[in-house]
Amino acid sequence: MRYYPTMGLEIHAELLTKSKVFCSCSAEFGGEPNTRCCPVCSGLPGTLPVLNRRAVEYIIKAGYVMNCDISRFTKWDRKNYFYPDLPKAYQISQMPRPVCLDGHVDIKVNDEDKTIRINRIHLEEDAGKLTHEGRISLADYNRCGIPLIEIVTEPDFHSAEEVVAFFEKIKLLLLYAGICDCKMEQGSIRCDVNISIAPEGSEKLGTRTELKNLNSLKAIAKAIEVEIARQTEILDNGGEIVQETRRFNEAAMETLAMRSKEDAHDYRYFPDPDIPPIIFTEEELADIRATLPEMPEQRMARYRTAYGISENDAVIIVSDKRVSDFYDEAVDGCKSPKNVASYLVGEFMRRVNLGEIDLDELKFSGKDFARLVEYLYSDKLSQNNAKLVLGEMAQRGSSPESIADEQDLWIKEDTELLSAVIDEIIASNPKAAEQYRNGDQKVFGFFMGQANKALKGAASPKAIQEQLIAKLRR
Amino acid sequence: MDIRRARICDLRKALDTKQISAPELCGEYFSRIEAVDGRLQSYITVTKEKAFEMAAEAQKVIDSGKATALTGIPIAVKDNICTDGVKTTCASRMLENFVPPYDATVIENLKREGYVLLGKTSMDEFAMGGSNQTSAFAKTRNPHDLERVPGGSSGGSAAAVAASLAPCSLGSDTGGSIRQPAAFCGVTGIKPTYGRVSRYGLVAFASSLDQIGPIASSAEDCAILLNTLCSHDERDATSARVTVPDFTEKLGQPVNGMTIAMPKEFFADEIDNEVREAVLEAAKSLEAKGAKLVECSMPSLKYAIPAYYLIACAEAASNLSRFDGIKYGYRGEGATFEELIRDSRTKGFGEEVKRRILLGNYALSSGYYDAYYKKALALKQEIIKEYNELYSVADVILTPTAPTVAYRIGEQEKDPVKMYLADICTVTVNIAGLPAINTTCGYDKAGMPIGMSLVGKRFDEATILQLADAFERDFMPVLPKL
C-alpha cells in the first residue's frame, strides 16, 4: 500500500545571552566541566532562580520573526522528573502560558511555497550533560540553566525535504535575529521529529513515534527516510505502530526504541512559586520589536532595489548570514555593489565551497574584497591575477594591494610592449590571421589567448582586444 | 550579668557601657547551653569556636564606637537557614553533612551588623511538623515541662529563647512554624508578610508560604531584629520592592482607636477552654487600652487545612526532589541511578517527610491536579478575599495561636491527621501571605504558656508589633525553671 507521512517538529535552540536564564553564570558553550556553575544552577538547597530578562526579550524576538502572538501574560511551571543531569529534579519550563503562540513560517520546497504553522514557543532551562565511562557516569553542570527556547510546529510536514527546508529557515531566522548561533554540532540547536504514516487518502493520522538524536541536517533527512520505511514495513505486514520515542543510530542507519508511552513520565507540572508571572505592556513589546535587526527577506529586498542585483544572487547571499554580513560590509561606500555581488556569488563562494575560505575565520575584510573587485572591473587586475590575489588573501590575509605589488600582478598598460607582442604573434601565425581576415571570428579567441600568455598581465584585456582587432584588420 | 530573658536593648546597653564584653556575653550563653541543652536538645550544632571569633570582631567594632543594634548580640539560627561553612542539616539525615558554601541573605544582613552565631537550632525535619519530634538529631523538649513538646517546626529556636540559651533566634514559618512554638514556649515570634524577608538561603519547604522571622523575648526585640532581616533582595524574585520602615517607631504609641476583629470560627469548640478564656481575657485588656473589638466571621476557615496541606505538600514534593544523593547529602546504594536515587531517598528522609512528598505528588499527578491542586488554589483566592473584607473594617485580627497548649511528647505524633488539624489557627495567614505575631497572653493550670496571634494587613508589621508591645508592657511572663 502507499502511505502518506505526516510530521511535526520540536526544535530546541539555546539563546545567545551572556548569562544563564536563572543565575549569572556564563552561558558560553564548553569550558572545563563544572566551572560554569554556581549554587543556583547546580540546585543547592536554599538557592532561588531569578529570571534573566534578556532571555525573555530574545524569545519575544523569536516570536516576532515567526509571526507569533506574544502573550501579554506569561508564567513558568515546573516539570518534575528525576535524572542525574537535572540538579533540581525539575526543569523550569512553561506549560499553559508560553510566551509565544500561533505563528507561521513560509518555506519554499521544489519551487513551491508552503506555510508551516507554529503551535507555540516557550522559554525553559537546559539540563547538564552526562558522560558514561564504563561503569561510572560523570555529570557536567556547565550547560545547566542555559536558556532554551522550544519551537513546536503543527503536523504540517509531509516529506523530509519540507522538514529540512523548514529547519534551515528557522536557523536563518534565529541567526539573523541574533538570538542563537545555531551550531548543531555543539548542540545549540536540536530537532526532534514526530512522525506517523497513514494510507494515502486516509483522513486519520497514524500512530506517531518521536525521533531523537538527530545531530545534523543529513541525519534528520536520513532518520525520516529510515523511520518511514520501518513503519511502512510494519503496516504492510499487518502490524501496529507503537507510540514511543526512538533514537536514530546514524552508523547503523536505524531507529531504536528508547521508551514507550507506558513508561512516559508524569511530569506533574505546576506553577513555579519562585518566579512571579510577567505581564507585558504594549510599550515593552513595541520596544523589543524595534530592536529586531533586518531579517533575510528585508535584506533581499534591499539588495534587489538598492543595488539592482539578481534574485538568484540575492538568495545565495542572504542564505548565509555570514556571507550577507560580509557583503554589507563590502558594499558600504562602494561604487559597484552589483559587481561585488557577482564576484562574491561566483569566485568567493566557489572558494567557500572548496573550503579555501573559512567564513567563521575570515582573514580579510569586506572592504579588501570590494577593492579587489574594483581592480578587476577597472582593468587594473586581470581575471586570472584577481583569482590569484583572492587566493593569497584567503590564505594569509594581506591587502589586495600588497599582494599585487609583491608578486607584480598589476596590469601595466605597456603600449610599446603590447604593440610588439601583437606584431610578433600575427607574424608567426599568418594562416590564422588570414582566416580572421576572411571572416572567421573563432580564431580571435586563439589570438587573445596567445597575447594573454605572452603579456602576463602587462596590458588589460580591453587594450589587447583593441590592438589585436586594429592590427589584424590592417 | 544575669542573662535569663535578657532583652536585646539590655544587652546593647551592657555591651556599649562595657559592663560586659561581647566574648564574655557569648561565654555566658555557652555556659547555659552546656548546662541545660543536654536535657532541652534545642541545638543541633553549637558553633562555639566561630562564635568567639565573631564576638572578638564585634568587640573591636564596639570599642571603636561604631556598634549598631545587633553588634555583638548572640543569635541562634534555625537549621534550615544556610550558613556559609556551618552545617545546615534541616534536621534530616539527608543533609547530615551538608555545609553550604554561601550565606542566606538574612545571615549576610546579620553579619553586616556584627552578630554572633551561637549555633543552629533543631526543628522538625525539613520544617514538616509542629512538635520537633520529627528531627533526626535533636528532639527538642519544652523548657516549661520537659515531658512536653516545644511546638514546631521552629521548636529549637523557640525553646532556646524561652530557656535563655539565646537572647533571640531566627525561625521560619510555613504554616505556623514560628508562632506555634513561640506560643508553646511562651515567647514572642513574628512571621513577616510574604516577600518582606528574602528567602534566599532558606531551604525551601513550600516556596509560596515560607517566610523567615525572629523569635525573641518581646515584640520590641522582634522589631529590632526585623529592622536588619528585612531587605529587598535581587536574588529572590518574590522579595517585595517595598520600603522597610523602622519597626520600633510605633512602639509605645497609644493603641486607642485601633479596631481588632475576632472571627468567631477561631473561638469554636476545637479550641481548648483555657486557651479561649485566656485569649478573650487578653482581648479585653486591649479593649481597656482603647482598642475596639469587633466580632466577625471567616467562613472559609473550614477549608483552610486541606487547602494548606495540598499547596504545601505539592510544593514540598517538588522542592525536595533535588535531594537525590547524587550531588550532596545522604547517598544510598544502587546499580542504576534509579536505584541509587530510590535508596538515598528511602533512607535519607524520615516518615513525615515521605508522607508529605507522597501527598504532594499525588495531588499534582495527572488526572488529580484539577481535583486537588487547582481547587486548593481557588480556596486560596477565597481566603484572601475574606481577609480583605475583614481588613476593610479592622486594623488587626486577633485569634488564638494554637487550639491547645503544648501537649505531652508521644501524645499526638502518631496521628498525622490530628497533627495537621492542630494548625487550624495559623495556616490561613500563610495562605494569604499576611504578617502575624504570637505573644504570650496567659498560662493554663499546669503552668503551660498560652499564645495569642495578632494578624496584620500586608506589610503592616508595625501595627501588630505596636499592639503586641502594648500588651506585653502590662504582662508578666513566667520564666521556665530550667
Please report whether residue A45 resides in a domain: yes
Distance from CA of A303 to the nearest CA of B (A): 46
Write the residue in A46, A82, A274 that is nearest to B82 by C-beta: A46
Name the phi and psi angles at A225, rounded to 5: -60, -50
**Per-residue b or e along A53-89, where b marks 16 or more CB atoms closer than 10 Å to that residue's CB:** ebbbbbbbbbbbbbebebbeebbbbbbbebbbbbbbb
Per-residue cell: A25: 553564570
Nearest CA in chain A to B94: A45
Give the per-residue pLDDT at A51: 97
| CATH number, domain containing residue A427 | 1.10.10.410
Residues A319 and A352 in one domain: yes
Please report whether residue A358 resides in a domain: yes
Residues A135 and A238 in one domain: yes
Euclidean distance between CA atoms A153 and A173, whole angstroms? 15
Write the residue in B202, B337, B366 that is nearest to A84 by C-beta: B337
Please report whether residue A63 resides in a domain: yes
Q: B202 pairs with which residues across the strands?
A: B81
Residues A309 and A275 in one domain: no
Residues A175 and A248 in one domain: yes
A106 within 8 A of A113, measured Cβ to Cβ: yes
B443 within 8 A of B450, measured Cβ to Cβ: yes
* Domains recognised in chain B with CATH numbers: 1-482 (3.90.1300.10)
User: Which of A283, A308, A338 lies at the terminal end of a domain, its last residue?
Assistant: A283
Give every residue of chain A whose pLDDT is below 70, as ranges. 261-262
Residues A234 and A380 in one domain: no
At B67 the three-state DSSP class reads: coil
pLDDT tens-digit map of A456-468:
777 877 888 888 8
Per-residue cell: B107: 545571615
User: Which of A406, A438, A459 lies at the terminal end of a domain, its last residue?
Assistant: A406
CB contact under 8 A, B366 and A47: no
Residue A320's CB: how many other CB atoms inside 10 A? 16
Give the per-residue pLDDT at A265: 81
CB pairs under 8 A between A and B: 104
Please report whether residue A290 resides in a domain: no
Residues A366 and A243 in one domain: no
Name the phi and psi angles at A244, rounded to 5: -160, 170
What's the whole-model pTM score? 0.91
Known catalytic residues of B are 78, 153, 177
pLDDT tens-digit map of A355-384:
999 999 999 999 999 999 999 998 888 888
Give the per-residue pLDDT at A449: 84
A370 within 8 A of A330, measured Cβ to Cβ: yes
CA distances from B401 to B181, B263, B266, B466 (A): 9, 13, 9, 18
Length of chain B: 482
Residues A227 and A91 in one domain: yes
CB contact under 8 A, A274 and B237: yes
Please report whether residue A79 resides in a domain: yes
3-class SS letters over B197-211: CCCCCECCCCCCCCE
**CB-CB neighbors (< 8 A) of A276 in chain B:** 237-238
Q: List the domain range (segments joined by +) for residue A359.
A: 296-406
Give the per-residue pLDDT at A369: 95
B368 touches chain A (CB under 8 A): no
Give the per-residue pLDDT at A262: 66
Q: HSE, CB side, 13 Å, CA atoms: give it for residue B333.
A: 0
Residues A443 and A462 in one domain: yes
Write the residue in B199, B237, B341 that is nearest to A275 by C-beta: B237
Q: DSSP string spanning B120-168?
A: EE--SGGG--SSSTT-SS----BTTBTTB---SSSHHHHHHHHTTSSSE
**CB-CB neighbors (< 8 A) of A78 in chain B:** 318
Please report whether residue A157 resides in a domain: yes
Give the per-residue pLDDT at A134: 85
Give the per-residue pLDDT at A245: 93
| pLDDT in 10s for each residue of chain B, 482 residues | 889 989 999 999 999 999 999 999 999 999 999 999 999 999 999 999 999 999 999 999 999 999 999 999 999 999 999 999 999 999 999 999 999 999 999 999 999 999 999 999 999 999 999 999 999 999 999 999 999 999 999 999 999 999 999 999 999 999 999 999 999 999 999 999 999 999 999 999 999 999 999 999 999 999 999 999 999 999 999 999 999 999 999 999 999 999 999 999 999 999 999 999 999 999 999 999 999 999 999 999 999 999 999 999 999 999 999 999 999 999 999 988 899 999 999 999 999 999 999 999 999 999 999 999 999 999 999 999 999 999 999 999 999 999 999 999 998 878 888 889 899 999 999 999 999 999 999 999 999 999 999 999 999 999 999 999 999 999 999 999 98
Euclidean distance between CA atoms B374 and B377, whole angstroms? 5
Domain count, chain A: 3
Please report whether residue A289 resides in a domain: no
Q: Dihedral, CA atoms, A272, B225, B190, B473, nearest 10 degrees?
A: -170
Residues A271 and A126 in one domain: yes
A400 within 8 A of A376, measured Cβ to Cβ: no
Residues A300 and A220 in one domain: no
Residues A346 and A422 in one domain: no
Cis preceding linkage at B366, omega within 30: no
Helix (H) or strand (E) holding A114: strand A112-125
CB contact under 8 A, A273 and B315: yes
Please report whether residue A288 resides in a domain: no
**CB-CB neighbors (< 8 A) of A274 in chain B:** 204, 207, 237-238
Give the per-residue pLDDT at A422: 83
Give the per-residue pLDDT at A45: 97
Euclidean distance between CA atoms A14 and A23, whole angstroms? 15
User: Which of A406, A433, A465 lies at the terminal end of a domain, its last residue?
Assistant: A406
CA distances from A113 to A107, A167, B228 (A): 6, 15, 65
Answer yes or no: is the ipTM higher than 0.90. Answer: yes
Length of chain A: 474
Residues A173 and A209 in one domain: yes
